Amino acid sequence: MSLVNTNSADANRAIKECASSGKWPPGRKRASRRRGCLLFCISFLSISVFGVSKTSARPQATPSPPSNKKQLEAKAKELVSEGKELEKQGQLDDAKDKYIDAEGYISTKDALNGFERIRAAKKSQAEVLLEDAHHDCISGRNADCAKKLEEALNAGPDKPLTLHYDLALCYEKLGDRADALVHLDQAINATQDTKQRIALVELRTQIILGNTEPATVSAEVAKKIEVFNESYMQTDRDPVVAAGLCDQLKDLQGASPRNAAILFDQAKCAAEDARDADAARLLGDYLKLAPDALDAPETQAYRNSLLSLTALDGDTGEHIRAHFAAADLDLDYRRYDRAVQEYVAVQQIAPDFALTYWRLALLYEASGDVARARDCLTKYLQLETDTERKSEAQAALASLEQWRSFYDDNIEEAHALMSDLLMRSMGLSDEGVKHRPSKVKSRTKLPAKYRTTLSASETLSRPFVQRQIDRARDDLQEAIQLFPIAPEANQMMALVELEDNDWPSAFRSYDAVASAGQPVAFYAQLNSSRENKIVLAAKVEIGKDALRFVYLSSYNANKKTAEPPESPAGEDGLGNLFTSAGLPRDPQAETLVIPVAELEAVQTDKSFVTIKLHKQHILLAPVYMVSYTPVEGRVAREFGNEYTRMFVRYLGYEQARLGKEGMTFGEKLRLGYTFVQTGMSVFNAVSTGGMGAFAVVQNTVKLAHRLNMDISHLRHNLTEQHRALEGLEFKPIPNQPAPLAYRDHL
């Protein structure tokens, strides 16, 4: 559809047609979601209102006519009226969407008040259902209890921690341990208190093993287990601690020989130490102690691969086992590219060893590289003799193209949602039009350089931003479920996680991007000491050797207007929201490249990041769309510190300073790697839709339906992928009675 010379009549007609039909405009791949229509309509109205014509990939700007705001207000008023009518009819979800749609045009008190009314009503509805559910739980009517708790969860309360926790207990009592784990993972994600999280992850292990009471141990052993579990909780940020877990397990060796979790963890350490025979023996003992463990099939499959490695003789076998052990360690640190290198090295040593091609195929598949995955699967089929394993490989091979097409569609939808939000929040959607500076920001008592840098961003409605981000997350979760370490999905997911201020999850996503050889990126407003009245909207790309700013817009703080760069910034005007082998960085965009050797300092300054070069200072204000970022104080420094850590983690710049103090030796030790954080997949299994085996079990039903695939095949393939990426994962060791009391407050 051409958007050249669009006028208001065209826009209004298109909006009515789109809104009535619920269809995507021509040229879109999918027509299944009304929200795509709304997003297009909003963009269409913005084009007519702001006089933007799209003659190329990059929108050009013309001055805004005086009636713009009235048109926006009229559309918002119409939607609010529709929302109120739906609210009267009790259709709360539809009414809430109308209010948020109105906020997408212009923020009004009527829309926000309507949103808050529905929010309060849904919370009240959830509280009533929770109270009724507890009566059923206490009376032993667990099935009725679970049904009402699910209804309360579907009501959409803001803080569903209690509901997920109670559902986990309820499903465990019903004997549905898989569903219990899905909800327990969500409860763990939402729990902030460290002691409570430790208790929950211990409960998680007990549910996996099939018991709810830990084995009795001496006080000395109990203390050692407590230290181990506390260390396990720290591995989400500190790989040095993760490496020390195996040393702690040595102290537990023989102390509790009938503890299945300890045996499992010792097997993991043996595998990483290339002691495959010991690892296989320990896993066998684990399966004998916990024959009904939920991860028994995965564990047996992993044990079989260890046995195939132990069967290799001589120096060749020793070298192969060493490479496989090194690959396991690289996967622990999410160095996926290095793990691939280890398996490629095995190919050179033993080109006919089938397991190598299977592992490589799964890694390539997980990264979305279907061509290489296809080559490895084809070779594996030539070498493998086991009929069942060959059947699995043939099924995986047949699915590759369909999965890639489904992945691409989801990426396209997420890109449309995220790019629209970024363009608006950075003031790029109305270039040439005077900005409406935030009153909150304009009142902030800050030195001029900070106020200037903040002045370029537009104020967006929080409910609207949050909903669009949630929709983008849904698309990305489906994409990542199929290709967990694909760079395109993970780059956008990292930006989504930054909006949730979930840095451990963001780093997990960024690690996948960096492992694919792509720069990790975020968006920021940039102010330089050379031109302190000009603010540049920029994409900040952090590569292995250099920092790169891609200029998106130039904002004049005095005139309060923004102008596009002379050369378009990528196909989407955002320097390309994501990059990959198929979509490399745009060489024509206006950029500033700073080799790491030219950096004199990178440090946190309030909520900003300051970059010092030889003759200029650059101040970065990272884009945060969901709400205002505190500019000063502890929370502000913590926000800025996380962005500063990115320069250490991915650029290798160890001289970065956090907050007001320099980094300690311990911080440098923990952060001075390209990407080495070890994540607990239990904490992101559900939130990223991704690689946690038990969350996959829950999500594959919906995904299989949409792919029109056999559920068992899809589940099996995703589980194989998970095992290839994660290997064996440490289990927290149960050390205290499980907290089995229901919670009664949201």
pLDDT at position 741? 83
pLDDT at position 46? 42
Give the CB-side neighbour count of residue 344, counting CA atoms within 13 A: 9
pLDDT at position 26? 31
CB atoms within 10 A of CB 320: 22
| SS3 of residue 26 by DSSP | coil
pLDDT classification of 693: cutoffs 50, 70, 90: very low
pLDDT of 724 strictly over 80: no
Give whichever of 50-54, 242-246, 519-523, 706-710 has the largest mean pLDDT: 519-523
Sequence letter at residue 612: K
pLDDT at position 701? 64
Q: Report the distance separating Cα 424 and Cα 507, nearest Å.
A: 25
pLDDT at position 443? 45
DSSP 427: T
pLDDT at position 729? 85
pLDDT of 162 strictly over 60: yes
pLDDT at position 433? 55
pLDDT of 441 strictly over 60: no
What's the pLDDT tens digit per position in 514-544? Answer: 999 999 999 999 999 988 889 999 999 999 9
Q: Report the distance separating Cα 83 and Cα 113, nearest Å.
A: 11
pLDDT of 667 strictly over 50: no
What's the pLDDT tens digit per position in 3-20? Answer: 333 333 344 444 334 433
DSSP string, 452-464: HHHTTSPP--HHH
DSSP string, 594-645: EEGGG--EEEEETTEEEEE-SS-EEEEEE---SSPPP-SSHHHHHHHHHHHH
Radius of gyration of the chain measured on its C-alpha atoms: 27
pLDDT at position 502? 83
Q: Is the pTM of this model over 0.75?
A: yes
pLDDT classification of 717: cutoffs 50, 70, 90: confident
Q: Report the distance separating Cα 625 and Cα 607, nearest Å.
A: 14
pLDDT of 668 strictly over 60: no
pLDDT at position 193? 83
Q: What percent of the chain has pLDDT over 90?
A: 48
Q: Report the distance separating Cα 569 and Cα 538, nearest Å.
A: 9
pLDDT classification of 683: cutoffs 50, 70, 90: very low
Question: What are 659-664's contacts with CB under 8 Å, separation 24+?
Answer: 659/604
Helix 161-173 / helix 177-190 crossing angle, nearest 10 deg: 160
pLDDT (average), residues 715-731: 76
pLDDT at position 241? 62
203 vs 56: which has the higher pLDDT: 203
pLDDT (average), residues 726-734: 85
Q: Mean pLDDT for the chain?
A: 81
For residue 609, the cross-strand partners are: 604, 620
In contact, 130 and 744? CB cutoff 8 Å: yes
Q: How far apart are the first and last CA of the chain?
A: 48
The token duo for 279 is 């690892």
pLDDT of 488 strictly over 80: yes
What's the pLDDT tens digit per position in 173-228? Answer: 999 998 899 899 889 888 878 888 889 999 999 999 987 677 778 888 889 899 89
Q: Kindly tell me the sign of the dihedral angle through the C-alpha atoms of 405, 411, 412, 414.
A: positive
Strand-pair category, 601-605 with 661-662: unpaired
The token duo for 297 is 């099939």
Q: Report the distance separating Cα 468 and Cα 534, nearest Å.
A: 30
Task: Give me the torsion for CA of 666, 667, 670, 674, rounded to 10°.
Answer: -140
pLDDT at position 650? 93
| SS3 of residue 670 by DSSP | helix
What's the pLDDT tens digit per position in 387-436? Answer: 989 998 998 999 999 999 999 999 999 999 999 999 988 888 765 555 55
pLDDT at position 598? 94
Comparing CA positions, the residue from 564, 576, 572 lying closest to residue 519 is 576
265 vs 433: which has the higher pLDDT: 265
Q: Report the distance separating Cα 547 and Cα 524, nearest Å.
A: 14
Q: Report the distance separating Cα 279 and Cα 283, nearest Å.
A: 6
DSSP string, 685-707: TTTTS-S-HHHHHHHHHHHHHHH
pLDDT at position 63? 34
pLDDT (average), residues 669-689: 33
669 vs 342: which has the higher pLDDT: 342
Q: What percent of the chain has pLDDT over 70?
A: 80
Comparing CA positions, the residue from 225, 142, 292, 160 lying closest to residue 732 is 225
pLDDT (average), residues 251-261: 80
Which position has the token pair 């537009």?
458
Q: Which helix (H) or strand (E) holds 539?
A: strand 531-542
Domain limits, the chain: 434-457+517-677
pLDDT classification of 238: cutoffs 50, 70, 90: low
Please write down the HEC assignment for all residues of 320-386: HHHHHHHHHHHHHCCCHHHHHHHHHHHHHHCCCCHHHHHHHHHHHHHCCCHHHHHHHHHHHHHHCCC
What's the pLDDT tens digit per position in 594-639? Answer: 999 999 999 999 889 999 999 899 999 999 887 766 787 778 888 8
In contact, 378 and 371? CB cutoff 8 Å: no
In contact, 203 and 738? CB cutoff 8 Å: yes
Give the CB-side neighbour count of residue 399, counting CA atoms within 13 A: 27
pLDDT (average), residues 274-287: 94
CATH 3.40.50.740 fits 434-457+517-677, yes or no: no
